[in-house]
Amino acid sequence: MAQESAQPNGQRAFLVLYRPGPNRGQSKRVWEQALGGHNDCLIDQFEKGARRFAGPSMDDCGGSIVVQIEDVRGATQVADSDPALISDVFVFVVHPWSLVDWEAALSQCNTAKEPVDS
C-alpha torsion angle, residues 62, 68, 74, 78 (rounded to 10): -40
pTM (global) more than 0.85: no
As a whole number, the mean pLDDT across the chain is 81
**pLDDT digits 0-9 by tens, 39-67:** 888 888 888 877 788 888 888 888 899 98
Do 70 and 11 form a contact (C-beta atoms < 8 A)?
Answer: yes
Q: Is the dihedral of CA 65, 88, 19, 38 positive or negative?
A: negative
